[in-house]
Structure 1
Amino acid sequence: MTQRQRLFAGTQLRALRQRRAMRQVEMAEALGISASYLSQLENDERHLTPALADSLRSAFPVDWVDLAPSGGDELIRTLHEALADPQLPGDLPGEQVERLALQFPGFAERFVQLHALHAQTRLRLDMMDEAIGSSLAAGGRLPWEEVRDWFHQANNYVDPLDREAEALAADIAGDDISPRVQSMQNWLRANGVSIAWQSGGPMRRFDAQRRHLELDSTQPIESGRFQLAWQVAALALSQQIGAIVEESGLESAAARHILTIGLGNYAAGALLMPYERFRMAARELRHDIDRLRQMFHTSFEQTCHRLSTLQRPRARGIPVYFCRVDMAGNITKRHSATRMQFGRFGGACPLWIVHEAAAIPDRIHVQLAEMPDGTRYVSLAKGLVKPSGSYYRPPRRYAVALGCEAAHAAEFIYADGLNLANDDAVTRIGASCRICPRDHCDQRAFPPSDKAIVVDPLRRDLVPYHVVEP
């Protein structure tokens, strides 16, 4: 039997403890070991055992992903990931996973391959859902869909642009935590741009030849500040944005233009909420959105969106999902750094708290939800109303939702009032009726597209059919 190479992680353990500002005795208690044992681990006098690796993944799931040493057997790592699939019941200890990979490598390799095939099948089902939802038999994508998928594949984090925006923010803001309106206007004027705030017209309009920027003074102050930041980023980071668009692989001119705008939006958010300052504040405040938006002078939606981009390697925030839903139930903006995925087209699950938030705005709604794969999420949603500035232009109404897996509930302030241990308190939701496997849901709009149904004329429940399991 092949022996596993011993893995030493002293540097990583010390970095993790310092990042969390913990004493050795506190971290040792969290891991269930003695302080002297932890000291030996940090000095590389003892190696990292599979049981300890399990404890680290459990106690520090976000930090350990970034700090875990890269050594060890690749088959053990991929087998551990496959066996951790939430659709599989229970959780095998790391020591058993390691023994399985070392004693039966052929079986372990085939199990990993089988799990990959299962993931591909789920992906094909999502693609079928996309084709049905968009009424395109070939599954073709519109330009805005291409850009949405580009950001999804990038994990909603654009490293070079984010770092450049962070440096630009430090240059403009000075001692302030975030660039002020006056500071950004001074930067624009120093770069030859004149500015006019006036009532009516577009939210932002820039005349490149005259170097003149017009901003709508009737829009909310957070929106006006964001548009100002967009213009600063578009001018200061034009070369970086252009290079990313050129390397994006998007074929149509429309898609490239939409990506240019999207990258400008991304850079504006990164300018107003500089990465490291925002990440540290989010962790310190346990992701209290209202306190964060007051600190950085941003809107509720802007703050939620920024939380979904905190995916910088070795400095990640907790993985969250974020989406925006209109009054018709259409998901108009979405991203997930969690295992939760949304239906790509059409309405979301009617049991999801976001719909109630859209109907009752200006109030935070909280829900403990469970997806069909068994993963539970702490979700918050808030309905927002943006004034139009005129009686004859109806205000924009929609809801935003943000959530994390229940495993991170201790770092998410919105979980404080939930009974996470009570199964009766869980709302069981799905991504889309077309791909949801639940066969006992009273609020189905239509049956799943990959399963047969049985209709009994002599019996009627809330849903007039039964799903047949394959």
Structure 2
Amino acid sequence: MPVRRRLFAGQRLRALRESRELRQADLATALGVSASYLSQLENDQRPLTSALIEKLASLFPVDWQDLGTDGTEQLVVALREASADPLFAEPLPPDQLARLAEQNPAFAERFVALHEAYRRTGQRLAMVDEALTTENPAADTAATARLPWEQVRDWFHFANNYVDTLDRAAEKLARQLRGRAPSPGTEAIETHLRQALSISLIYSGQSGIRSFDAEMSHLVIDPGQPAESRRFQLAHQLVSLALRDEILAVIEGAKLQSAASRQLLFVGLSNYAAGALLMPYDDFRRTARTLRHDIDRIAQIFGTSFEQTCHRLSTLQRDGAKGVPFFFCRVDMAGNITKRHSATRLQFARFGGACPLWIVHEAVAVPDRILVQLAETPDGVRYVSMAKGLVKPSGTFERPPRRYAVALGCETTHAGEFIYADGLDLASERSVVPIGISCRICPRPDCDQRAFPPSDREIEVDPDHRGVVPYRIG
């Protein structure tokens, strides 16, 4: 049996404390140890115990990850996350996880891989279940085949909404364009389009939001868009030309089935790279964490819109430098989810509307006001959600403005990193709103807002008794 190694991490521990501007006494209290014991840990006079490592990973999940943990510690963290799945009655004790990672690393790695496969399979089954239970009386195998936009949406989902080659290429291009600014400005992007790519640029509202004539090298941008939108369209065109080879290489590896889906993926990847250009990974992630993910303040620094900033936060999944795992979505006035991604355990409905109890629906009706919510999904996981209704002007009286809401949220484990959780009582059971994914796959038997019964349950109807809905779920 291998001898358990002792972990001395004084420098990392001190760096963590100083980055959070904590006194030794403050961190010692949080860890449940004395200040003198913490001092010994920081001076490498004592090793970290498994319980303390677990406590640090729990209190500071993103910071502890950033401090260069070795392979065994990373495996312990992965085991902790897998064993904390609601599938199990309770997570394994820290000492057991540490022994498993140190003494049986091959088995531990396979357990983590199996859990990830189980999670992904569950997501795919939920997708199939929703597809087969949509209200389409003529549904058959052909009719329920994935449409091109669904293929692209699912590709981004299973890529974890992060494309490393594009992100790094866009970050490199941003360094060339932005000078000392946090983000490349409109003028710098226009200059690069004209001088480096020989593109003539015209602002006119006669050709849609953006129109590019590749043969004539003419780019037309609608000037009626908000400044952030115009800049994003310029960035989209820039990266679609400057990073074309990188984008095409990703599409080739995606192995999508149709020409339409490959073209849609090209558009999606160009949008992704445009976001990475305007919000370069390292600086954006560092700023976001410093400001505790205050969207308005981050958007002011990078010159981006509220929606663009939220979306970018959901893509920070670079190995060794991950951000807080967020979910992000955009919902229109009819309740349709038009954008979605989740780096958390929460998954969105693919068809139909989302849960009516979720605060994002209220936000659609109340533009320019931020709403927050503490919610719990049927698996027992709790989330802090922030939602804001937005109105995007059309630039003309002839077209109505677009009205929708965006939502951003994280598991309560990361509430300390999320400024919108500050006003919530996370310990209060009365503050928690029980939400589902969609009525078709929600198992809750006592929801007053249910639109229709779950597809996998029988219903019981009593003509002589009427509740909020005219049936009981079996």
Q: Tell whether the structures are fold-level matches, with TM greater than 0.5.
A: yes
**Equivalent residue in structure 2 for 1:402, among 408, 411, 417:** 408
Deviation at 1:442, TM superposition (A): 0.7
C-alpha deviation, 1:21, in angstroms:
5.3
Quick one: which of 244, 252, 263 aligns to 1:238? 244
- Contact persistence 2:79–2:97 (CA under 8 A): yes
Segment of structure 1 superposing worse, 289-298 or 127-136: 127-136
Which residue in 2 is equivalent to 1:336? 342
| 2-structure distance, mates of 1:461, 1:113 | 45
In the alignment, residue 429 of structure 2 is paired with which amino acid? D
Deviations 1:37-84 (A, max 9, x none): 55665676654432122212211122334543212797x777644431
Contact persistence 1:24–1:38 (CA under 8 A): no
CA distance change for structure 1 residues 429 and 12 in 2, over 3 Å: closer, same or farther? farther
Q: Is the 8 A contact 1:126 1:435 kept in 2?
A: no
8 Å contact kept, 1:8–1:41: no
Q: 1:210 to 1:112 in 2, by over 3 A?
A: closer
Match of 1:276, SS?
Answer: helix
Instruction: Find the aligned partners of 1:130 and 1:20 in 2 and give their Cα distance.
Output: 47
**Paired residue type of 2:157:** H
Aligned to 2:55: 55
Whether 1:382 and 2:381 are equivalent positions in the alignment is no
Q: 1:205/1:123 Cα in 2 relative to 1: closer, same or farther (>3 Å)?
A: closer
- With 250-259 and 198-207 compared, the bigger mean Cα shift is at 198-207
Separation of aligned partners in 2, 1:87 and 1:190:
57
C-alpha displacement at 1:133, in angstroms? 3.0
Shift of the 81–317 alpha-carbon distance from structure 1 to 2, 3 Å rule, reads closer
Q: CA deviation at 1:364?
A: 1.0
Which residue among 165, 169, 180 is the counterpart of 1:164?
169
1:110-152 C-alpha deviation (Å, 9 max, x unpaired): 9989978975456424421133238554352111111111111
Q: CA deviation at 1:439?
A: 0.6
1:434, CA displacement in angstroms? 1.1
1:141 pairs with one of 121, 146, 153: 146
Q: 2:284 — aligned with what? A: 278
Quote the Cα distance in structure 2 between the aligned partners of 1:104 and 1:184: 53
Q: Distance in 2 between matches of 1:128 and 1:157?
A: 26
Contact 1:286 1:412 in 2 (8 A): yes
Structure 1 contact 7–72 (Cα < 8 Å) conserved: no
Quote the residue 2:327 is aligned against. 321
Structure 2 SS opposite 1:381: strand
Q: Is the 8 A contact 1:4 1:72 kept in 2?
A: no
CA contact (8 A) 1:323 1:331 kept: yes
Alpha-carbon distance in structure 1 between the residues aligned to 2:260 and 2:251 = 12
Q: 1:437 aligns with which of 440, 443, 459?
A: 443
CA distance in 1, matches of 2:74, 2:281: 33
Q: CA RMSD in A?
A: 3.1
Q: In structure 2, give the amino acid aligned to 1:83.
A: S
Go from structure 1 to structure 2 and tell me whether the alpha carbon gap of 1:423 and 1:4 turns closer, same or farther (over 3 Å shift).
Answer: farther
1:69 aligns with 2:75: no
Counterpart residue type for residue 412 of structure 2? A
Q: Where does residue 150 of structure 1 map in the other structure? A: 155
Partner of 1:8: 7
- Match of 1:95, as an amino acid? D
Say whether the 8 Å CA contact 1:444–1:463 is kept in structure 2. Answer: yes
Q: What is the CA–CA distance in structure 1 between the aligned matches of 2:320 and 2:257, rounded to whole Å? A: 33
Match of 1:178 in 2: 183
Instruction: Give the conservation status (yes or no) of the 8 Å contact 1:217–1:224.
Output: yes
Evaluate the alpha carbon distance shift between residue 109 and residue 231 of structure 1 in structure 2; reply closer, same or farther with a 3 A threshold.
Answer: closer
Question: Match for residue 129 of structure 1?
Answer: 130
TM-score (norm 1): 0.90
Task: Choose 396-405 or 3-12, whichever is displaced more.
Answer: 3-12
Q: Measured at CA, do residues 147 and 123 of structure 1 come closer, stay the same or move farther in structure 2, by a change above 3 Å?
A: closer
Stretch of structure 1 that moved more, 295-304 or 136-145:
136-145
Distance 1:381 1:204 in 2: 28
* Counterpart residue type for residue 16 of structure 2: R
Distance 1:82 1:177, change over 3 A: closer
Q: Which amino acid aligns with 1:362?
A: D
Q: Partner of 1:6: helix, strand, or coil?
A: coil
Q: CA deviation at 1:163?
A: 1.1
Distance 1:187 1:112, change over 3 A: closer
SS of structure 2 residue aligned to 1:71? helix
Q: Which amino acid aligns with 2:150?
A: E
Q: Could you report, residue by residue, the CA deviation over 1:164-214 in whole angstroms, capped at 9, with x for unpaired residues?
A: 111111110101111111111111111211111123321111111221211
Q: Distance in 2 between matches of 1:266 and 1:103?
A: 42
Counterpart selection for 1:269 from 239, 253, 275: 275
CA contact (8 A) 1:370 1:429 kept: yes
Deviation at 1:31, TM superposition (A): 2.6
Corresponding residue SS for 2:439? coil
Q: Which amino acid aligns with 1:340?
A: L
User: Which runs of no fewer than 5 residues in structure 2 stay unpaired?
Assistant: none
1:34: how far off?
4.6
Give 5+ residue unaligned stretches, structure 1: none
Q: 2 CA distance for matches of 1:329 and 1:116?
A: 30
Distance 1:460 1:284, change over 3 A: same
Quick one: distance in 2 between partners of 1:80 and 1:409? 19
What's the counterpart of residue 224 of structure 1?
A: 230
Aligned residues of 2:80 and 2:91 also touching (Cα < 8 A): no
Identity level (%): 58
SS in 2 for 1:247: helix
C-alpha distance in 2 between matches for 1:165 and 1:103: 42
Matched, 1:201 2:207: yes
Q: Secondary structure at the match of 1:304?
A: helix
Q: Separation in 1 of the partners of 2:277 and 2:368?
A: 26
Q: Do the aligned partners of residues 449 and 280 (structure 1) sit closer, same or farther apart at CA in structure 2, a change above 3 Å counting?
A: same
Q: Tell me which residue corresponds to 1:369.
A: 375
Q: 2: distance between equivalents of 1:166 and 1:278?
A: 11
Q: Secondary structure at the match of 2:72?
A: coil
Match of 1:248 in 2: 254
Q: Hey, what's the Cα distance between the residues in 2 that align with 1:16 and 1:159?
A: 27
Instruction: Report the Cα offset of residue 277 of structure 1.
Output: 1.2
